[in-house]
Amino acid sequence: MSDRTSHPLADSQIRDIGLAPDGQLKIDWVAAHMPLLNHLREAFARTRPFAGKRIAICLHLEAKTAYLALTLQAGGAEVAVAASNPLSTQDDVVAALVDRGVTAFAWHGATDAEYRAHLAALARFGPDLVIDDGGDLVALLHQSYPDVAARVTGGCEETTTGVLRLRAMAAEGVLRFPMMAVNDARCKHLFDNRYGTGQSVWDGIMRTTNLVVAGKTVVVVGYGWCGKGVAKRAQGLGARVVVCEVDPIRALEAVMDGYAVMPIREAAKVGDVFITVTGNRDCITEEAFAVMKDGALLANAGHFDVEINKHDLGRLAARVRQVRRNVEEYQFPDGRRVYLLAEGRLVNLAAADGHPVEVMDMSFALQALALREVAQHAYPPGVHPLPAELDLEVARLRLQAWGVEIDALSPSQRRYLASWRGE
Ligand SMILES: NC(=O)c1ccc[n+]([C@@H]2O[C@H](COP(=O)([O-])OP(=O)(O)OC[C@H]3O[C@@H](n4cnc5c(N)ncnc54)[C@H](O)[C@@H]3O)[C@@H](O)[C@H]2O)c1
């Protein structure tokens, strides 16, 4: 555990503190568009719910996350951050955070070993509370830092993959502290996974390739909350959309939403752009690469870079070369070329700025409220849903920020809905 009196800059492992002014400009921009976090920041500054607490954050380190860290800091916490993905870290934003008193262990393009060392440093920071995205921090605390894990009083998990891992830990009886499944809140997955991923995946692909989407055949692998958003926006951009699924109900939804549905071995022959969003591994493998068209683009938006099998790609390719920032060309012996974007990592974060600001305002308001909830109430170890009232509060605040009014149930409507007599 680090010396509690030491300075964040001395403890931090970052690229260059001199980048802080650029990072601060990025944070100022998002702060101006995050009314929910602004509201919570003011409330936290008054009530200090995290006074005396250490909070470890493992999230994508860009400006919106930085503003969440500063919001929690305003609530009295000592905050440290590390990246949940080595390619999504923005060095200027990290520098600005350190300048504002947050300890940081991250730089863009960290190797696997550096990424693990940064997470280990975050664990040694000795948090009371944690925010995780994908489950790497919580897994590390349990596997390698049991003494630190024993002192953690609770935390929150951001994404589908992380919640799955937490449930696996809870099922084995090894999860030692309470974790709120923020991803499962309605204000999270209905908006962040669907509209956030839907928009930002296309932002990443378009700014990385500068190619047209209209008229192309886009194959979306996985028709969950993220896949629905990616497919809908592809359709809006003028693409023909093909969906690949393993769940018959989600496949049926895709059919009735108007998309072609087929197995990946068939979709592989017709696709121009492939996007995986399953949370699963090996969704596009050798079988598909063997029949893909020359020039096909491959992108992943699922949490880990295991959805497109990079091992198969490397083994099959006669030549691999970088042809553009974030674009690698794999040329097969028969001359066909396919292009892997952002090394198969989350394309919207590794090759763009992640979800739109207003969407992350909702997700991070949920994180801040969920963390306050676990800090103030003694939840038992396990995976817990966010209280429905907090979910509704975030929706109300978002509507209010957009100036949207809605109706309210009358007393007689309430009685009618609660009655079985049909009065
Ligand atoms: N890029 C981002 O910013 C972002 C945002 C939120 C979530 N995520 C991540 O995206 C992934 C998906 O999240 P979600 O909320 O949509 O999950 P989800 O559970 O709602 O959907 C996943 C879908 O993939 C399908 N699937 C699983 N294996 C498959 C296979 N081999 N072939 C075809 N379909 C398959 C499942 O049946 C399911 O319908 C997760 O890893 C999640 O953590 C990424």
DSSP output for 24-66: HHHHHHHHTT-HHHHHHHHHHHHH-TTTT-EEEEEE--SHHHH
CATH number of the structural domain spanning residue 95:
3.40.50.1480
Residue 6: its pLDDT value, please? Answer: 61
DSSP state of 193: I
Taken as a whole, the chain contains a residue count of: 423
- Position 128 in a domain: yes
User: Are 327 and 280 found together in one domain?
Assistant: yes
Q: Are residues 210 and 81 in the same domain?
A: no
The answer to whether 266 is a known ligand-binding residue is: no
Give the nearest ligand 1 atom to 303 CA: 41
Is residue 1 assigned to a domain?
Answer: no
Q: Which of 226, 247, 349 to mutate to test the pocket of ligand 1 (most atoms within 8 A of CB)?
A: 226
Alpha carbon distance, N-terminus to C-terminus of the chain: 64
Q: Given this model, what pLDDT does residue 91 score?
A: 97
CATH code, 332? 3.40.50.720
Q: Which of 350, 367, 383 is the last residue of a domain?
A: 350
Domain end, chosen from 350, 378, 413, is at: 350
Tell me how far the alpha carbon of residue 126 lies from the centroid of ligand 1, in angstroms. 32
Number of structural domains, the chain?
2
Whether residue 215 is found in the same domain as residue 173: no
Q: Residue 300, annotated ligand binder? A: no
**What's the CA-to-centroid distance between 405 and ligand 1, angstroms?**
33
User: Ligand 1 atom closest to Cα of 355?
Assistant: 3
Q: For residue 418, give the 3-state DSSP assignment.
A: helix
Atom 39 in ligand 1: residue holding the nearest Cα? 224
Residue 410 lies in a domain: no
Give 178-214 pLDDT, tens digit per residue. 999 999 999 999 999 999 999 999 999 999 999 999 9
Protein residue with least CA distance to atom 42, ligand 1: 160
The alpha-helical segments, DSSP class H, found in 210-285 are 225-236, 248-256, 264-270
* CA of 221 relative to ligand 1 center, distance in Å: 9
Instruction: Tell me how far apart the alpha carbons of residues 350 and 181 are, in angstroms, rounded to a whole number.
Output: 24
For ligand 1, atom 17, name the residue with the nearest CA: 224
> Which residue ranges in the chain fall short of pLDDT 50?
1-5
Model pTM above 0.85 = yes
Does one domain contain both 36 and 142?
yes
- 162 by Cβ neighbours in 10 Å (0-12 / 13-18 / 19+) ranks as buried
pLDDT for 1: 40
Domain range spanning residue 220?
195-350
> Within a domain: residue 105?
yes
pLDDT at 259: 98
pLDDT at 165: 97
Tell me whether residue 29 is annotated as binding: no
- Evaluate whether 159 touches 363 at the Cβ level (below 8 Å): no
Same domain, 199 and 79: no
pLDDT confidence of residue 421: 84
